[in-house]
Structure 1
Amino acid sequence: MLGKEMIDGCKDKISNAAQIGGIETSTLDNGLGRGVRIAWINTGTGLRYKVVIDRGMDISDTFYNGYSLAWLSHAGTIAADRFSDTGMGWIRNFGGGLLTTCGLSHVGGPEEDEYGDRGLHGRMSNTPAEVVSILQPDPSAGKMEMSITGIIRESQVFGPALELKRTISGRLGHPEINVRDEVINRGNQKVPHMLLYHINFGWPLIDEGSLLLWKGKWHSPTPDSDRKIFKEGGDFKTCKAPMAAHSGTGEDVAFIDIEEHHGIATCGVYNEKLDLALAVIFSKKQLPWLVNWQHWGKNEYVTALEPATNPPIGQKKAREEGSLIFLEPGEVRNYALTIKIMDTDKIEQFINSFK
Structure 2
Amino acid sequence: MKLKAMRGPQVELDPASVLDIRSLVMDGVDLAPGRAIPDDGDARIDHSLEGFLFTCGPDHIRHPFPMADGSGRKYPLHGSFSSHPAMIVAQGQDFCRAVVEICHADGGHSRLERHWHIDGEGRVRLADRLVNTGQQAFPAFLMYHMNIGARLFDDGVRLEGAMLEGGGFGWRFGKEPGGVFCVAAGGEDLATLSLGPMASLGGLSLHVAFSTATLPYLQIWRNQKAPANVLGIEPVSHDWLDRDVLERSGAFLPLQPGEARDFALQFWFGPAD
**Cα shift at 1:339:** 0.8
Q: Please say if 1:294 is aligned against 2:222.
A: yes
Q: 1:204 to 1:44 in 2, by over 3 A?
A: farther
Q: Please say if 1:118 is aligned against 2:66.
A: no
- Taking the aligned partners of 2:104 and 2:81, their CA distance within structure 1 comes to 14
Q: Please say if 1:239 is aligned against 2:135.
A: no
Using the size of structure 2 for normalisation, the TM-score is 0.86
Match of 1:324 among 248, 252, 261: 252
Gaps of 5+ in 2: none
**Cα shift at 1:314:** 4.8
| Aligned twin of 1:258 | 185
Q: Please say if 1:168 is aligned against 2:168.
A: no
Tell me whether 271-280 or 174-183 shows the greater mean CA deviation: 271-280
Q: Please say if 1:283 is aligned against 2:230.
A: no
- Taking the aligned partners of 1:61 and 1:88, their CA distance within structure 2 comes to 20
Q: 1:330 to 1:91 in 2, by over 3 A?
A: closer
Tell me whether 198-207 or 319-328 shows the greater mean CA deviation: 198-207
* Amino acid in structure 1 at the alignment position of 2:130: V
- Taking the aligned partners of 1:195 and 1:163, their CA distance within structure 2 comes to 13
| Aligned twin of 1:129 | 86
Gaps of 5+ in 1: 1-38, 76-83, 137-145, 219-232, 351-355
**Cα shift at 1:265:** 0.4
Q: Please say if 1:106 is aligned against 2:60.
A: yes
2:33 is paired with a residue whose SS is: coil
* Amino acid in structure 2 at the alignment position of 1:125: S
Q: 1:260 to 1:95 in 2, by over 3 A?
A: same
Alignment identity in percent? 25
Q: 1:157 to 1:285 in 2, by over 3 A?
A: closer
Using the size of structure 1 for normalisation, the TM-score is 0.68
- Taking the aligned partners of 2:160 and 2:106, their CA distance within structure 1 comes to 44
Q: 1:272 to 1:54 in 2, by over 3 A?
A: closer
- Taking the aligned partners of 2:252 and 2:105, their CA distance within structure 1 comes to 23
1:12-39 deviation line (CA, Å, top 9, x unaligned): xxxxxxxxxxxxxxxxxxxxxxxxxxx1
Q: Does the 8 Å contact 1:43/1:175 carry over to 2?
A: yes
Q: Does the 8 Å contact 2:80/2:102 carry over to 1?
A: yes
More relative contact order, 1 or 2 (CA 8 Å, 6+ apart): 2
Alignment of 1:187-226 (within 5 A): 187-203=134-150, 205-216=152-163
Q: 1:155 to 1:46 in 2, by over 3 A?
A: closer
1:317 is paired with a residue whose SS is: helix
**Cα shift at 1:286:** 1.8
Compute the RMSD of aligned alpha carbons: 2.8
**Cα shift at 1:193:** 0.7
List structure 1 segments (4+ residues) > 6 angstroms apart after TM superposition: none
**Cα shift at 1:97:** 1.7
- Taking the aligned partners of 2:49 and 2:231, their CA distance within structure 1 comes to 14
1:129-164 deviation line (CA, Å, top 9, x unaligned): 11111134xxxxxxxxx3111111222699311110
Give the total of aligned pairs: 266
**Cα shift at 1:90:** 4.7
| Aligned twin of 1:181 | 128
Q: Does the 8 Å contact 1:147/1:168 carry over to 2?
A: yes
1:303-345 deviation line (CA, Å, top 9, x unaligned): 1110010135353332122211210111110111101112x4x
Q: Flag the structure with larger Rg.
A: 1
